[in-house]
C-alpha cells in the first residue's frame, strides 16, 4: 500500500483534479491540522498547569545579577543587559553599552544588530518574555516601543520580587537547582526556590594550590579554614571527601561538573594512584599535559565514587563546549564502570542527541544509571530539541528525561521554560495524532518530564517543596 493510499483511507488525503491542480485545499489535511491543533492546545494547557522543577540554572543573587549596567538613571538592568547576558552574543553582534550612556544612543546603533538573526533560536527564545511579560512584539518593535520596553525592564529590576514573581508565578517553577559556577564551593542560597549543588569542576585541578586565584573555587582555602593539612594525594582525597560531605550537610542535592567539557576531553581513563601522584604538589608549568590529564582523570573517578557514598546524582555537561572531545560517548567507560552512580547527561549531548539517547538506551540493559537532561537544548536549536524529545521517548522510558532552563536572568528562565513546554507539547501532540500515544499517557509524560522525574532522580528536593 502506498503512503498516499494509506493517508486516503484514514481520511487525511483527498484525490481529484481540483486538489492535484492546487485549486482546493485537501479537506483531510485540513482536518488533520485541526485535530493536531486541538490536541496541542490541550497538552499545552496541561503543561502550563504543572508546577515545574528546573534541574539546571545559573541565576545569581539579585544584587549580583549578571547584566547590570551603569545608565543615566543609575545602575540597573535594561534591554541591553538582558540581551548581553543571554546566549545571543555567542553567535551574533551586539553593540556594547557605554557606561552611563543613554538608551537612545545605544539603540540607534543596536537596532540593526538583529537583522540577520531572526531565524536563530538564540534570538527567538527571548521573544516570549518580551511578548508575555512586557507586551511587546520584538520582531516588529518600533523605536518608541523599544524605549518603553527598556524603561519597564529597568523599573522591574528595582525590586527583587520581580525575579521571584517571574520564576515562581509566571514560569510556574517551584524549585530550581542553581549551579553557582561563579562561587562553586560556597553553597550560596539566594532565593526561596533555590536548590543547592556542589560544582566539582575546580577540584580536578587540585594538584597544586597555585591553580586557584578565586577563593570561591579554592579547595585549599576550604582546608585552611578547617585546619586540614593537605600534603599528599591521600590528604587531597580526604579533602574532597570532606567537601562532598559538607555540601550534603548544607543541603546539596547533587554534584555538578559544568565546566570540564570547556577545558578538555570528556574521556576519563581509570588512572592508577601511582600515575596520579606524580602531578601532586607540582605547578602546572612543571608538568607535562599527560601528567595533568592523569591527575584530573584520577580525581574524576574518585568523585564519581563519592557520588555513590553520599547518594548524590552527578550532573555532567556534555556536548557543545570544546566541540572536539565533548561528545558523551567519551563517558562510556566511566559510566559502565560505576553502575551505582546516577549520571545525568546535561544538554542532551548537543549536537550528539542521537548518541546520547543510545547511551541511555544501552545502559538500561545494564545498570540503569543514566538520565538525559534536555536543559539548554530548546534554546540552542528548537528543531533539534524537538527531534531529541521524539527520539528519546521512542528509545527510553519517560521517567529518564529531565529539563532545565540554563539561563542567567528571570526573562531568560521564563522564555526557556516556555520554549521547553512548547517543544515537548508539540512532540507529544504529534505522537498522539499519529496514533503512537494515547492522550492521557502524553499528559502523564509531560508531568514526569516537567516535575516528577526530578523528584525521583534528586530525592532530596522533596524536603524543599514549598508550594503545597
Q: Distance between CA atoms of 327 and 325, rounded to whole angstroms?
A: 6
Q: What is the pLDDT of residues 406-462, one digit of tens each?
A: 999 999 999 999 999 999 999 999 999 999 999 999 999 999 999 999 999 999 999
Q: Would you state the pLDDT for residue 16?
A: 33
> Among 298, 257, 267, which residue's Cα sits nearest to residue 280?
298
Q: Would you state the pLDDT for residue 187?
A: 76
Q: Distance between CA atoms of 200 and 314, rounded to whole angstroms?
A: 10
Q: Would you state the pLDDT for residue 33?
A: 87
Confidence label for 13 from pLDDT (cuts 50, 70 and 90): very low
- φ, ψ of residue 74 to 5 degrees: the values are 110, -175
* H-type alpha helices, 159-249: 161-164, 219-225, 233-249
Burial class of residue 357 in the structure, from the number of CB atoms within 10 Å of its CB (0-12 exposed, 13-18 middle, 19+ buried)? buried
Instruction: Give strand pairing partners of 370.
Output: 343
Cell 530548546 belongs to residue: 378
- Does the pTM of the predicted model rise above 0.85? yes
Name, in order, each residue with C-beta under 8 angstroms of 299's C-beta and a sequence gap of 6 or more: 203, 204, 206, 240, 276
Task: Record the cell numbers describing residue 178, joined without a space.
Answer: 542553581
Q: Distance between CA atoms of 108 and 85, rounded to whole angstroms?
A: 20
Mean pLDDT of 172-201: 94
Q: Would you state the pLDDT for residue 24?
A: 46
Q: What is the pLDDT of residues 79-107, one digit of tens each?
A: 999 999 999 999 999 999 999 999 999 99
Whole-angstrom Cα Rg for the chain:
24
22 pLDDT exceeds 60?
A: no
CB of 412 closer than 8 Å to CB of 82:
yes
244 pLDDT exceeds 70?
A: yes
Q: Give the whole-number percent of the chain exceeding pLDDT 90.
A: 92
CB of 139 closer than 8 Å to CB of 127:
yes
Q: What is the pLDDT of residues 296-347, one digit of tens each?
A: 999 999 999 999 999 999 999 999 999 999 999 999 999 999 999 999 999 9
* End-to-end alpha carbon distance in the chain: 54
Q: Would you state the pLDDT for residue 28?
A: 67
Q: What is the pLDDT of residues 110-169, one digit of tens each?
A: 999 999 999 999 999 999 999 999 999 999 999 999 999 999 999 999 999 999 999 999
Q: Would you state the pLDDT for residue 186?
A: 85
Task: Record the cell numbers describing residue 264, joined without a space.
Answer: 578538555
Q: Strand order in 252-257's β-sheet?
A: 52-57, 173-178, 194-199, 252-257, 314-317, 343-346, 370-373, 401-402
Task: Please provide the size of the chain in residues.
Answer: 468
Confidence label for 11 from pLDDT (cuts 50, 70 and 90): very low
Query: What are the chain's domains?
Result: 66-156 (no CATH), 179-405+450-464 (3.20.20.140)
Mean pLDDT of 57-65: 96
* Average of per-residue pLDDT values in the chain: 93
Name, in order, each residue with C-beta under 8 angstroms of 17's C-beta and a sequence gap of 6 or more: 23
Q: What is the pLDDT of residues 334-360, one digit of tens each?
A: 999 999 999 999 999 999 999 999 999
Q: Would you state the pLDDT for residue 399?
A: 98
Please confirm whether the linkage preceding 429 is cis (ω < 30° from 0): no
Confidence label for 26 from pLDDT (cuts 50, 70 and 90): low
CB of 300 closer than 8 Å to CB of 202:
no
Q: Distance between CA atoms of 276 and 261, rounded to whole angstroms?
A: 20
Confidence label for 32 from pLDDT (cuts 50, 70 and 90): confident
Q: Distance between CA atoms of 199 and 187, rounded to whole angstroms?
A: 9
Task: Record the cell numbers describing residue 42, joined without a space.
Answer: 490541550
- φ, ψ of residue 59 to 5 degrees: the values are -80, 115
Amino acid at each position: 500500500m502506498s503512503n498516499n493510499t494509506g493517508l486516503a483511507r484514514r481520511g487525511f488525503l483527498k484525490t481529484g483534479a481540483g486538489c492535484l491542480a492546487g485549486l482546493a485545499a485537501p479537506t483531510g489535511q485540513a482536518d488533520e491540522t485541526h485535530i493536531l491543533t486541538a490536541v496541542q492546545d490541550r497538552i499545552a494547557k496541561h503543561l502550563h498547569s504543572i508546577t515545574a522543577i528546573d534541574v539546571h540554572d545559573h541565576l545569581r543573587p539579585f544584587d549580583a545579577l549578571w547584566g547590570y549596567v551603569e545608565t543615566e538613571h543609575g545602575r540597573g538592568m535594561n534591554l541591553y543587559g538582558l540581551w548581553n547576558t543571554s546566549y545571543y552574543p555567542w553567535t551574533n553582534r551586539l553593540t556594547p553599552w557605554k557606561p552611563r550612556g543613554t538608551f537612545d544612543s545605544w539603540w540607534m546603533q543596536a537596532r540593526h544588530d538583529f537583522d540577520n538573526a531572526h531565524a536563530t533560536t538564540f534570538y527567538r527564545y527571548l521573544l516570549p518574555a518580551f511578548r508575555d511579560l512586557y507586551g511587546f512584539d520584538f520582531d516588529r518593535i518600533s523605536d518608541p516601543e523599544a524605549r518603553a520596553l527598556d524603561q519597564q525592564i529597568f523599573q522591574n529590576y528595582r525590586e527583587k520580587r520581580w525575579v521571584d514573581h517571574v520564576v515562581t508565578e509566571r514560569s510556574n517553577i517551584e524549585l530550581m537547582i542553581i549551579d553557582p559556577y561563579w562561587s562553586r564551593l560556597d553553597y550560596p542560597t539566594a532565593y526561596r526556590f533555590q536548590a543547592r549543588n556542589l560544582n566539582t569542576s575546580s577540584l580536578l585541578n587540585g594538584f597544586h594550590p597555585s591553580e586557584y586565584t578565586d577563593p570561591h573555587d579554592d579547595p585549599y582555602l576550604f582546608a585552611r579554614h578547617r585546619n586540614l593539612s593537605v600534603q599528599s594525594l591521600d590528604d587531597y582525597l580526604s579533602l574532597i571527601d570532606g567537601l562532598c560531605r559538607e555540601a550534603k550537610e548544607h543541603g546539596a542535592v547533587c554534584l555538578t561538573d559544568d565546566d570540564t567539557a570547556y577545558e578538555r576531553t570528556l574521556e576519563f581513563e581509570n588512572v592508577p594512584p601511582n600515575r596520579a601522584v606524580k602531578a601532586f604538589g607540582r605547578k602546572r608549568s612543571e608538568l607535562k599535559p599527560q601528567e595533568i590529564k592523569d591527575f584530573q582523570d584520577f580525581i574524576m573517578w574518585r568523585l564519581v565514587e563519592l557520588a555513590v557514598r553520599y547518594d548524590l546524582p552527578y550532573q555532567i555537561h556534555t556536548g557543545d563546549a570544546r566541540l572536539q572531545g565533548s561528545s558523551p560517548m567519551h563517558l562510556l567507560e566511566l559510566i559502565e564502570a560505576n553502575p551505582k552512580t546516577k549520571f545525568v547527561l546535561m544538554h542532551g549531548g548537543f549536537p550528539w542527541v542521537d548518541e546520547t539517547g543510545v547511551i541511555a538506551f544501552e545502559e538500561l540493559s545494564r545498570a540503569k544509571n543514566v538520565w538525559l537532561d534536555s536543559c539548554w537544548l530548546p534554546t540552542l536549536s528548537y528543531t533539534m530539541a524537538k527531534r531529541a524529545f521524539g527520539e528519546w521517548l521512542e528509545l527510553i522510558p519517560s521517567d529518564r528525561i529531565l529539563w532545565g532552563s540554563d539561563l542567567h536572568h528571570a526573562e531568560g528562565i521564563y522564555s526557556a521554560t516556555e520554549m521547553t513546554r512548547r517543544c515537548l507539547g508539540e512532540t507529544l501532540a504529534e505522537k498522539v495524532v499519529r496514533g503512537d500515544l494515547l492522550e492521557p499517557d502524553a499528559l502523564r509524560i509531560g508531568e514526569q518530564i516537567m516535575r516528577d522525574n526530578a523528584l525521583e532522580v534528586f530525592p532530596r528536593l522533596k524536603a524543599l517543596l514549598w508550594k503545597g
